[in-house]
Chain A
Amino acid sequence: MLRKYHVVAIPIRIVLNTFGDHNPNGMMYVLKENEEKVKQSVKENPFMPVPLVQPLIIRANEGDAVEILLENKLPFHAGLHFQQAEYDVRTADGANVGLNEESTVPPGESYQYRINVVKEGIYFFSDLGNPASSENGSNGNGLFGALFVERRFSWWTDPETGKPMNSGVFADIHHPILPSFREYAWVFHDEMEVDDLTGNRPIHHLTNQEESSFHGANYRFEPINRRQQLIAEGVVCPNCEGEEVHHDSWVYGDPSTPILRGYVGDPAKVRVVHGGVKETHVFHYHVHQWLSDPDDLESEIIDAQSISPQTHYTVEPLYGLGSLQGSFGDSIIHCHLYPHFAAGMWGLNRVFNTLQDGSQCYPNGVPIKPLHPLPDREAPPKPTFEKPGFPNFIPGKVGYKAPRPPLGIVGGRGLTELERHAAIENPRPGAVFTDPSPESAPVREFNISLIELPITYNKQGWHDPKGRIYVLDEDLEDICAGRKEPEPLVIHTPAHTSFRINYTNRLPHILDGDAFQLVTRAYETGFHIHFVKFDVLVNDGANVGWNYDSSVLPGETIQYCYYAEVELKAWFFHDHLYPNAHQQHGVFGSGVVHPRFTEFLDSRTGEPVVHGTQITSKNPLIPDYRDFALFVQDFTLLFDKNGKPLQPPKFPSSDDDPGLFGVNYKNEPLQFRLGKDCDPAYTFSSYQNGDPVTPILRAYEGDSIRIRLLQGSQEESHSFNVHGLRWHKERGSLNSSLKEQQHIGISESFTMETYIERAGDYLWAFETEEDLWNGLWGLIRAYDEKVPDLISLTDRPEPLKRSKPLPEYTGDKPPQAEDPTVHPVEGPVRYFDVVAFQTKLMYNDFGDHDPHGIMVALKEDQEAIVNGTKKPEPLIIRANVGDTVEVTLTSELEMEKFPFPDGIYPYPVVKEQAYYPPSLRISLHPQLIQYDVKTSAGETVGFNGDQTVGPGEKRTYRWVVDTQVGACGLWDMADIRNHKSQGAFGAFIAEPRGTEYVDPYTLQPVSSGANVVLRNPFLPDIREFVVILHDGVRLYDKQGQVIFDPVDGILIPPPEIDEDLLDTYDQGSRGINYRSERLINRYRKHPKLHELFNSNVFGDPATPVFECYAGDPVTIRLVTPAERRRAHSFHLHGHRWRFDTKDIESRTEAFVGFHVAGAVKNLELLGGAGAYGKFPGDYLYRSGNIRWDIEQGMWGIMRVHDKPIAELPPLEQ
C-alpha cells in the first residue's frame, strides 16, 4: 500500500510548560493539514503549551511504501532522514552525502521522499541539512519525529474521540486478529534553548544561578525549580520543601509533560525515542517490566533502560497496564539520571479503574478527558458515588501534599468509607487497593532503617561525612559502632516470596549544607522498589500524581508489601522523596531474587545469611554459585582527610558534575599507587601496592559466579569491563553473544552469570579513563587451593590443601609472569610480531594531527609507517576459531616523545589531576578470547606477575580463539593516562574456522588491516570493515596550536560558550581509525551547512571510505577501546542488522547505542551492501550524537558501487 504524507518544516515557538518557559526558536515537522491550526494556536497562546505543538508522529503498516512531501519553511536547507527504512540513498537520504544527489530541501521549496517500511517498529527521522550542535542547529531545537510502523492490516484511532487519525503522539492501534493496544510516543530530547517569561535564561530560585540545561519529553518539561517557586511564593503547600512534592498533583495539579492514559490491563506499547543531541538517558517506568527485546522471549526482563541519542526501542509492559497485580493509579515515567529528573524529564502513566466518558473531574476540578475503552476489552465500570474510582476516593486536599496511605504507617490511620469501598477484601499495610501476593507465597520480613553516618572511601582518608545508607536493624549497632564496614544493603530471597518491609526513617530532619550542597530539609523518606509487584497507590515509596505519599517522617515506621514472582535478578531500591539531595550519599541498595529453594550462606563461615554484597548460594537443583553485587556511584561528595572538598561544584547545589566516584562506598585512585619507581605499569599490582580497598570478589577455580551490576548514583554512564571472564548477553539464551563489557546507567540492573575456569586475579573495572583514574576497579580472585576463610561450593570438588603460601604485598616490583609459550600447544598457531612506537598521526588533510601518537603495529610495517609510505591505522589482527595466537610485543617508547614527561596531562583532563608520569612499559590486553590471566592478560594485576614490556624488552602473549566472538578490543593497560588517548589500541577479530583474509584491492593475503575480504569455503566471500571509534584525542592544528575540542569544533557557535556545558569527559577530539573529518575545517572552506558531507565539494573524507558493490555481504566490526565516559551511538544510513548476530530472534535495528570504552558490536548488514533493495550510492556511517560527535569528525562513508570499477575486484560467489 502506498501512504502519502505532506509534511512541513516550520519555525515555531515551543512553550514547554505552564510556567511559560519556552524556546522562541523552536522548529518542528507538522502535517500540512495542521500547519495553520498550530500557528494560530501558538499565536493565541504565547505563554501556554499548545497541544498540537508536539513531535510529529505518523504511522504506516509493514510492507507499505510511504511518500513524504517535505515543504521547507525554515531559513536553511532541511531534510528528512529516516532510520530503519529502505530507500534509494542517492535521492531519498535527506542528506547530501559523498557523491549522492542533494536530498535536503532549500528554503521555500518542496521535495518528495519515498521509503519502504519493511518491519514493525520505530522509524526515527531527523534533519541532516543543518548538523550544527549549537542553538543555531536544527535537531536541538526540535526538528525530529518518527514514523511508527505497525503490523500489516492495522489501523489507528484517537484515544479520546475514537475517530481515525493521521498523526499524534498517542493512538489506539487495532488489528483484525491481534489485540488492540494503546500506543504512546515518548520522545526524549535534551539541550533545547529555553527562555523564561522575560525572555532570559531561567534562573534557579535558590541559587540565583542559571538553570541547568533542558531535559524533557515530547517538547515539554516540568522542572522542580518552577514548581518549588510556587511554594517559596506561598501559593501552595506552605509546609513543603520542594523535592518531596515535585511530582505531586495534589499540590500543583497535573504536569505539562506527557500523561499516558489507559485502563487496568490494557495492552500497551511505549515507543521510546531519543530525539536529542547529547546525553544518554535512562528510561524508567514504575510498576512495569518488559522484555529488552519484545519479540525475543529469552531476552532479559528489565524496568530501566538506557537510550543514546538517535536510538529507540519499544517497551511492551508485561501483563499490560498495572502489571500482573492490576495496580491502578499513577506510575511515573522518568529519566532516572537525577539532575535530568529534577530538570523536568518525567511524566505519568495514569491507569484508571473506572470508565472516563468526560463527565468526571480530577480533585482540583479539572475535567478528565474521555478515554475510549479498547474495543476488544470489557469496559471498566462506570464511576458511582460510592465507588468514584481513581483518584476521587483519595482523601487529599488540593494545594497540599498528598495524604499518607491508610494502614501502612505504624500507629497511623485506618480507611475512610470511600477508601473502604475501593479497597480489596482484606486490606493490609502496603496492599490496600491491589493485592500483589498469592496466599501460598512464604513471607519474609526485613526491618530496614535509613541512617546517616560518616563513610571513609579509601586508605587516604577521602570520606563522606554525611553518608546515608540503608541497614538492617539488627546490624544498626555494629555499623554505627564501627564493628561492621558500611556497604550497600543487599537482601537475598528466593523467587516466590512475599516481602514485608518495616522501614524506619532514622535520618535527621536536615541534610546539612557544605561546599557541595545547600541545607535541605530532607524530612521524609521512603523505600522505592523496582521490579517487584506492588500496589502503586500506597506502596511506591514515592509521592506521584494523585497517589498517596508513601513515605514517612523521621522516627516513623511504615510497612511495605511486595511479591517477587519469578527470578527477577537484582531489584534496585532507593529513596524517591529526596534522591537529588541525598542518593549520592549512599541511599541505595538491592534485593536479589534467586532461584526458588536457594539457601544463602556467609562465604567465610558457611552460616546462613539474609544479606551481603558477597555471599554463597546453595541450591538443590542447579549448581551452587557465588553471588556478588557491585554498585557504581558518581556525584560522590567526598572530602580529603584534611576536610578539603574534592571536586566541589562552582556553587553549592549545582548539578554540574560535583564530586568523584565510588563503588560499594569505596574507591582506589590510581594516583596513590605509583610505587617508589613511579611507574604506572604496576599501578594495579598487589605486590607493589597491596590489594585495593574496593571489592575483591573471592572464589575458587571452577566456581560459578553471578555478578549483580547496579548503579546507585547519580547522572553518568559507566562502562563495566571484566578482563578474562565473559558471559552471555541474555542469561536465558545460549544463542546470545558473549560479552565482557556492559554499559550501565543509574537504576539499571544486570546479572553476569559465568564461571572461573582458571585461578588468578581478574581485573574488573569501570573502564572509562576518569572512572578508572579515580578508583573504580577491583579484582575477582580465584584461588587454586584451599584458603581458610572461604567455604567451598557444596557441589564442587573440595579444593586441595594449600601447598604453597599465598602471595603477599612486598612493596617492590612484581615478579615476571611465567612465559606462556613454554607449554606445548596443539593445533594451528598464528604468530604476530608487534612493536609499540611513537609517531606523528595525521588525522585529516586539513593538518589536524597528533605529534605524540603511540602506535602498535606489525614489526614488518613499522618502517613503512615511519617513512610515510604506509598510512598509519590501528593494529587490527585476525585469527580463526581453533587457532592459538602468539603475539610478541616489543616496546620502543621514548620518554622525550611524550607530550608531558613531567607527569601532568593538562588536556583532556580527568578529575583530581595528579602526578602520573608516562610509562615506557606497554602491554596489549585482548577482550573476549581465552587466555591465562596469570601470563597473557596483557596487564599486571593483583598478584599476577608482570606482563608489561619495557624499552628493548619483548614478551609473548598466548591467546586461544575458542569461539567466534568477532570483534574484540585490544589496548594497553600499562598506563591508562598517557598511552590510550595517544592511540595505544587496536582490534582483534575472531573469524570462523578456515577463513582467509585478503586485501580487497589486490586480493593478496594480508595479516592486518581495517578493510579485508574474508574467504571461507563454507561461506560467501564477505567484506569486513573495522570501525574503531575513539575519543579523548589530543590534536594540534597545522599551525601547531592545540585543538580544544569540542569547543573548537562547534559550527556557528554562540558568542559565548557556556563552559558549564562541557563535562570533563566531553573533552578531546573524536576519531575513527586515527582519522577525524572535523566539519569545522570544511565549513571554514565552504560555509554551507547542508553540503558539509559532500565529496564533490570537499573530496572524500579522511575517515575510511569503505567500498563495495550492491549486494555484497558486509560485516562491520565496531570497536570502542578508548576512553571517555560520554556514550556514543552509531548509525549507518539505509541499512539494518540484528542487534545480536548470534540470535535469530534478535530485533533488527539501524543503530547501536552506548559505545563507550570496551563496547564492541558485530553488524552483519541485512541484504548486504545497499540492503535488500541493493541501492547503490554513498551511505553515511556516523555517530548519532549531534552534540558533539558529528561536528568533531566522527563520520565516514560506505560507498556502494553499481558498476564494476577497475580497482575493486568483485567478490567471488
Chain B
Amino acid sequence: MGQSYNDKKEEGIVHYFRKNMGRRVFILTKAFPFMFIGKIKSIVEDMVVLDVETTSIPSLEGKEWTVHIHSIEVFYIETGLGAKIPHLKDS
C-alpha cells in the first residue's frame, strides 16, 4: 500500500515547519486557546514546539507550547516573502 494523501500532506507540513524553524508563525486551532503567534523553536516528530508571544489568553503567553500538527486548522509562516505577522502589544 502506498502512502495516503493525508500522510503525504502531514509529512509536507512537518517538512515545511522544519524548514522554517526560527521563524515567526500564526496558527489557528479549533480547540482552546484557538490562536498562537510565536517563533518555531523545534519540531519533535509531528509536534511543533513554539515560543509563544501571543495567544487569546494573556496568562498563557511567554511560554513554550507544543502543538500537534493535526490540530492546526490554519497557519501562516513569516518567510520574508509575504506580509509580516503583527507584533501585538497590550496598550
A residues contacting B by CB (< 8 A) are: 438, 440-442, 494, 496-497, 566, 596-597, 599, 620-621
A438 touches B59 (CB 8 A): yes
Give chain A's interface secondary structure class: loop
B88 at interface (Cβ–Cβ under 8 A)?
Answer: yes
B88 touches A497 (CB 8 A): no
B86 touches A441 (CB 8 A): no
B90 touches A438 (CB 8 A): no
Q: How far is the CA of A441 from the CA of B90 in the complex (A)?
A: 8
A597 touches B90 (CB 8 A): yes
Output the nearest chain A residue to B59 by Cβ-Cβ distance. A438
Q: How far is the CA of A442 from the CA of B88 in the complex (A)?
A: 13
Give chain B's interface secondary structure class: loop
8 Å CB contact of A497 from B35, B56, B59, B90: B90
CB under 8 Å from chain A, chain B span 44-66 = 56-59
B residues contacting A by CB (< 8 A) are: 35, 56-59, 86, 88-91
B58 touches A441 (CB 8 A): yes
Contacts of A497 in B (CB 8 A): 90
B91 touches A494 (CB 8 A): yes
With contacts A442-B91, A494-B91 known, is A620 near B58, CB below 8 A?
no
A620 touches B90 (CB 8 A): no
A620 touches B86 (CB 8 A): yes
Output the nearest chain B residue to A440 by Cβ-Cβ distance. B58
Q: How far is the CA of A875 from the CA of B86 in the complex (A)?
A: 55
Output the nearest chain B residue to A442 by Cβ-Cβ distance. B90
Min C-beta distance of B4 to chain A, whole Å:
30
Contacts of A442 in B (CB 8 A): 90-91
A496 touches B58 (CB 8 A): yes
A597 touches B58 (CB 8 A): no
Output the nearest chain B residue to A597 by Cβ-Cβ distance. B88
Q: How far is the CA of A308 from the CA of B57 in the complex (A)?
A: 36
Min C-beta distance of B3 to chain A, whole Å:
34
Contacts of A438 in B (CB 8 A): 58-59
8 smallest CB-CB distances across A and B, nearest first, come from A620-B86, A496-B58, A442-B90, A597-B88, A496-B90, A440-B58, A442-B91, A620-B88
Q: How far is the CA of A494 from the CA of B86 in the complex (A)?
A: 17
Q: How far is the CA of A39 from the CA of B86 in the complex (A)?
A: 72
B89 touches A597 (CB 8 A): yes
Contacts of B35 in A (CB 8 A): 621
Output the nearest chain B residue to A596 by Cβ-Cβ distance. B90
Contacts of A494 in B (CB 8 A): 90-91
Q: How far is the CA of A479 from the CA of B91 in the complex (A)?
A: 28
Output the nearest chain B residue to A566 by Cβ-Cβ distance. B57
Q: How far is the CA of A956 from the CA of B56 in the complex (A)?
A: 49
Q: How far is the CA of A442 from the CA of B89 in the complex (A)?
A: 10
Q: How far is the CA of A542 from the CA of B90 in the complex (A)?
A: 31
Min C-beta distance of B86 to chain A, whole Å:
4
Contacts of A621 in B (CB 8 A): 35, 86, 88
Q: How far is the CA of A438 from the CA of B62 in the complex (A)?
A: 14
Q: How far is the CA of A1102 from the CA of B35 in the complex (A)?
A: 58
With contacts A441-B90, A442-B91 known, is A596 near B56, CB below 8 A?
yes
Q: How far is the CA of A865 from the CA of B91 in the complex (A)?
A: 67
Min C-beta distance of B23 to chain A, whole Å:
19
Given contacts A440-B90, A596-B56, A596-B58, 10 further A-B contacts (CB under 8 A): A438-B59, A441-B58, A441-B90, A442-B90, A496-B58, A497-B90, A566-B57, A599-B91, A620-B86, A621-B35
Min C-beta distance of A14 to chain B, whole Å:
48
Min C-beta distance of A1145 to chain B, whole Å:
15
Q: How far is the CA of A497 from the CA of B86 in the complex (A)?
A: 20
Q: How far is the CA of A496 from the CA of B88 in the complex (A)?
A: 13
Output the nearest chain B residue to A444 by Cβ-Cβ distance. B91
Min C-beta distance of B36 to chain A, whole Å:
12
Q: How far is the CA of A597 from the CA of B90 in the complex (A)?
A: 6
Contacts of A496 in B (CB 8 A): 58, 90
Question: What are 13 pairs between A and B in contact, CB < 8 Å?
Answer: A440-B59, A442-B90, A442-B91, A494-B90, A596-B58, A597-B88, A597-B89, A599-B91, A620-B86, A620-B88, A621-B35, A621-B86, A621-B88
Output the nearest chain A residue to B57 by Cβ-Cβ distance. A566
Min C-beta distance of A230 to chain B, whole Å:
48
Min C-beta distance of B38 to chain A, whole Å:
14
Q: How far is the CA of A1021 from the CA of B35 in the complex (A)?
A: 44
Output the nearest chain B residue to A297 by Cβ-Cβ distance. B32
Output the nearest chain A residue to B91 by Cβ-Cβ distance. A442
Output the nearest chain B residue to A599 by Cβ-Cβ distance. B91
8 Å CB contact of B88 from A440, A441, A566, A596: A596
Residue with the highest number of chain A CB atoms closer than 10 Å, among B56, B59, B90: B90
Q: How far is the CA of A494 from the CA of B89 in the complex (A)?
A: 11
Min C-beta distance of B1 to chain A, whole Å:
37
Min C-beta distance of B73 to chain A, whole Å:
14
Min C-beta distance of B9 to chain A, whole Å:
26
Q: How far is the CA of A621 from the CA of B35 in the complex (A)?
A: 10
Q: How far is the CA of A596 from the CA of B61 in the complex (A)?
A: 13
Contacts of A596 in B (CB 8 A): 56, 58, 88, 90
Q: How far is the CA of A722 from the CA of B90 in the complex (A)?
A: 34
Q: How far is the CA of A597 from the CA of B88 in the complex (A)?
A: 7
Min C-beta distance of B46 to chain A, whole Å:
26
Min C-beta distance of B67 to chain A, whole Å:
18
Min C-beta distance of B74 to chain A, whole Å:
12
Output the nearest chain A residue to B35 by Cβ-Cβ distance. A621
Contacts of B59 in A (CB 8 A): 438, 440
Q: How far is the CA of A596 from the CA of B55 in the complex (A)?
A: 10
Q: How far is the CA of A1188 from the CA of B36 in the complex (A)?
A: 55
Min C-beta distance of B29 to chain A, whole Å:
15
Contacts of A599 in B (CB 8 A): 91
Residue with the highest number of chain B CB atoms closer than 10 Å, among A440, A496, A596, A597: A596
Output the nearest chain B residue to A495 by Cβ-Cβ distance. B58
Q: How far is the CA of A566 from the CA of B59 in the complex (A)?
A: 11
Q: How far is the CA of A672 from the CA of B56 in the complex (A)?
A: 50
Q: How far is the CA of A620 from the CA of B59 in the complex (A)?
A: 20
Min C-beta distance of A596 to chain B, whole Å:
7
Q: How far is the CA of A497 from the CA of B91 in the complex (A)?
A: 9
Q: How far is the CA of A496 from the CA of B57 in the complex (A)?
A: 8
Contacts of A441 in B (CB 8 A): 58, 90
Output the nearest chain A residue to B55 by Cβ-Cβ distance. A596
Min C-beta distance of B75 to chain A, whole Å:
14
Q: How far is the CA of A15 from the CA of B45 in the complex (A)?
A: 71
Output the nearest chain A residue to B26 by Cβ-Cβ distance. A621
Contacts of A566 in B (CB 8 A): 57
Contacts of B86 in A (CB 8 A): 620-621
Min C-beta distance of A319 to chain B, whole Å:
14
Contacts of B88 in A (CB 8 A): 596-597, 620-621
Contacts of B56 in A (CB 8 A): 596
Min C-beta distance of A452 to chain B, whole Å:
34
Contacts of B57 in A (CB 8 A): 566
Residue with the highest number of chain B CB atoms closer than 10 Å, among A438, A441, A597: A597
Residue with the highest number of chain B CB atoms closer than 10 Å, among A438, A597, A621: A621
Min C-beta distance of B88 to chain A, whole Å:
5
Q: How far is the CA of A496 from the CA of B86 in the complex (A)?
A: 18
Min C-beta distance of A499 to chain B, whole Å:
13
Contacts of A597 in B (CB 8 A): 88-91
Output the nearest chain A residue to B90 by Cβ-Cβ distance. A442
Output the nearest chain B residue to A620 by Cβ-Cβ distance. B86
Output the nearest chain A residue to B87 by Cβ-Cβ distance. A620
Contacts of B90 in A (CB 8 A): 440-442, 494, 496-497, 596-597
Q: How far is the CA of A442 from the CA of B35 in the complex (A)?
A: 21
Q: How far is the CA of A1037 from the CA of B45 in the complex (A)?
A: 82
Q: How far is the CA of A614 from the CA of B86 in the complex (A)?
A: 27
Contacts of A620 in B (CB 8 A): 86, 88
Q: How far is the CA of A620 from the CA of B86 in the complex (A)?
A: 7
Contacts of B91 in A (CB 8 A): 442, 494, 597, 599
Output the nearest chain A residue to B56 by Cβ-Cβ distance. A596
Q: How far is the CA of A442 from the CA of B58 in the complex (A)?
A: 11
Output the nearest chain A residue to B89 by Cβ-Cβ distance. A597
Q: How far is the CA of A597 from the CA of B55 in the complex (A)?
A: 11
Q: How far is the CA of A621 from the CA of B90 in the complex (A)?
A: 14
Q: How far is the CA of A766 from the CA of B73 in the complex (A)?
A: 41
